[in-house]
């Protein structure tokens, strides 16, 4: 992949796999150069359960994107989700040797690395540590402590944990499909980058991404990620319910849901009927739209209530934690008719549908601006950001050793550099999603061969 030229996001979903190629234009917007999608085989509720089929689906999507754009895909930024992902809040502190020296990047890295050493359940590993607010000698609510004096540095962290095996399986699929793993991003974070505005994150907002296999939740307040959760139900379960309830095949159930489905049964009259062709010359089936809506409504209420429990667990009802911007719905499942009204009715919170069009160039295909592609666009934005960061370091740094390390995406700790090379690092570099984990996963895959 040509550095600084184009980037690739790969969304490995339960129902579809999307490869999206793009670059930043002169106005700072994302210009999509090509997109490829394939039916996702081998992924169940966000987790790979058939390596061979997943590899085939990835290759199919990548080939289509290459064909559309005329470009060769090398390195990709991939999203991670699934019911094995969980998050927790953790507080930690370090006591500094010399309180007469100002706090620097090295102190923050030491504090972060300390959190990575937390003991997790067997088979689990910390994927990501996100600093929220810092405390210096008891002084609270500090967003950036660098340059301050203090002996005790504390911080609250949002820690994301996942199953080691599930994440390694995703890495193996990427490598076996002939691609390089550029970075791994938590999918709710990618979706939030694509559809949420800075103001919403500041005011307090809950992003609900309803996918095929899972429903992802990300809560932001004061511009900081506060809570993430993955609920193991999505649009696929609704289709399954229609299939069972109406005794029809899955393909017909999916079409029924998309064309005639509604989350609000009250709007359908009893005499509204849709006819489904019978199998192999059998009699066609007649299904009332009221009945269809009742089936959909029951499952959607269950999903939304589970998400609302997570929102309440964050403490939404407390005045201090109030989510003023309400709820933003995105993902393929958010396109269900009257879902917005139902969510408002259940939660009592303002709701809107999130489209990833704000960051896309004006001449982009309207299909890509659909909530269906929110995660894929977010992953592409992450890839572009990583490219830009690598390019900036390469342009401004004269030392070849450091330049090579940065281009390869390795995290150079300030304490490991010769004194002449030490320099303040940009804030984004410290918080870039999954840098450490990506390196670990790359090493594991290389050693496995």
Q: Is the pLDDT of residue 171 over 50?
A: yes
CA 344 to chain centre: 24
- R_g of the chain computed on alpha carbons: 23
The mean pLDDT of 380-391, rounded to a whole number, is 78
Q: Is the pLDDT of residue 37 over 70?
A: yes
List, for residues 316-339, the tens digit of each pLDDT value: 888 778 899 999 999 999 999 999
Residue 255's SS3 state is: helix
The mean pLDDT of 216-224, rounded to a whole number, is 92
CA 248 to chain centre: 33
- CB contact at 8 A, 229 and 324: no
Task: Name the token pair of 264.
Answer: 């609000």
Instruction: Label residue 393 by pLDDT band (50, 70, 90).
Output: very low
Instruction: Label residue 4 by pLDDT band (50, 70, 90).
Output: very low
Looking at residue 393, the DSSP 8-state letter turns out to be H
Instruction: Label residue 299 by pLDDT band (50, 70, 90).
Output: very high
Q: What is the mean pLDDT of the chain?
A: 84
Q: How far apart are CA 212 and CA 78, in angstroms?
A: 17
Q: Is the pLDDT of residue 292 over 60?
A: yes
The mean pLDDT of 204-225, rounded to a whole number, is 93
The mean pLDDT of 205-216, rounded to a whole number, is 93
Which has more confidence, 343 or 392? 343
Q: Among 12-26, 167-181, 417-431, whose mean pLDDT is lowest?
A: 417-431
Q: Is the pLDDT of residue 418 over 80?
A: no
Q: Going along 164-223, which residue ranges are E strands?
A: 180-186, 205-210, 215-221
Q: Among 4-13, 151-160, 225-234, whose mean pLDDT is lowest?
A: 4-13
Q: Where are the alpha helices (DSSP H) in 247-373?
A: 250-260, 289-314, 339-347
The pTM of the whole model exceeds 0.85: no
Which has more confidence, 310 or 411? 310
Q: How far apart are CA 150 and CA 97, in angstroms?
A: 10
Paired sense of beta strands 152-163 and 139-142, if any: unpaired
Residue 406 confidence (pLDDT): 38
Residue 271 confidence (pLDDT): 79
Which residues have a Cβ under 8 Å from the Cβ of 7 and sit 6 or more positions away?
A: 1, 21, 22, 23, 77, 380, 383, 384, 386, 387
Q: Is the pLDDT of residue 3 over 60?
A: no
The mean pLDDT of 4-32, rounded to a whole number, is 88
Residue 444 confidence (pLDDT): 64
DSSP for 89-152?
Answer: EEEEEEE-S-TTSBP-HHHHHHHHHHHHT----TTEEEEEEEEEEEEETTEEEES--TT-B-SE
């Amino acid at each position: 992949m040509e550095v600084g030229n184009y980037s690739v996001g790969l969304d490995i979903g339960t129902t579809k796999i999307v490869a999206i190629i793009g670059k930043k234009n002169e106005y700072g917007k994302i210009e999509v150069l090509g997109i490829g999608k394939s039916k996702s085989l081998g992924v169940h509720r966000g987790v790979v359960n058939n390596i061979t089929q997943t590899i085939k689906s990835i290759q199919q999507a990548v080939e289509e994107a290459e064909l559309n754009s005329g470009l060769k895909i090398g390195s990709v930024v991939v999203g991670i989700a699934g019911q094995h992902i969980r998050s927790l809040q953790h507080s930690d502190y370090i006591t500094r040797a010399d309180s007469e020296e100002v706090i620097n990047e090295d102190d923050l890295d030491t504090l972060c690395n300390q959190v990575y050493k937390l003991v997790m359940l067997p088979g689990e590993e910390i994927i990501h540590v996100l600093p929220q607010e810092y405390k210096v000698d008891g002084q609270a609510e500090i967003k950036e402590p660098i340059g301050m004096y203090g002996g005790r540095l504390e911080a609250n962290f949002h820690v994301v944990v996942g199953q080691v095996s599930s994440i390694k399986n995703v890495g193996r699929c990427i490598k076996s499909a002939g691609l390089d793993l550029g970075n791994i991003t938590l999918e709710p974070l990618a979706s939030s980058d694509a559809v949420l505005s800075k103001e919403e994150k500041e005011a307090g907002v809950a992003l609900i991404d309803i996918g095929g296999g899972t429903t992802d939740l990300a809560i932001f307040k004061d511009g900081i990620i506060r809570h993430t959760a993955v609920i193991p139900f999505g649009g696929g379960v609704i289709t399954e319910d229609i299939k069972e309830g109406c005794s029809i095949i899955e393909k017909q159930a999916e079409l029924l849901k998309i064309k005639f489905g509604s989350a609000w049964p009250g709007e359908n009259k009893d005499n509204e009927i849709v006819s489904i062709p019978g199998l192999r010359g059998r009699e066609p089936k007649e299904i009332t739209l009221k009945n269809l809506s009742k089936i959909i409504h029951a499952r959607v209420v269950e999903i939304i209530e589970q998400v609302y429990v997570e929102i309440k667990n964050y403490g939404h009802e407390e005045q201090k934690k109030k989510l003023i911007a309400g709820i933003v719905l995105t993902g393929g499942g958010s396109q269900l008719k009257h879902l917005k009204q139902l969510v408002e009715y259940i939660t009592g919170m303002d709701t809107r549908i999130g489209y990833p069009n704000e960051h896309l160039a004006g001449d982009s295909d309207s299909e890509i601006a659909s909530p269906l592609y929110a995660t894929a666009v977010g992953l592409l934005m992450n890839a572009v950001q990583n490219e830009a960061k690598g390019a900036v370091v390469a342009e401004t740094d004269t030392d070849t050793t450091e330049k090579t390390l940065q281009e390869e995406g390795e995290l150079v700790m300030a304490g490991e550099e010769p004194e002449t090379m030490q320099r303040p690092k940009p804030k984004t570099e410290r918080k870039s999603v999954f840098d450490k984990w990506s390196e670990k996963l790359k090493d594991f895959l290389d050693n496995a061969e």
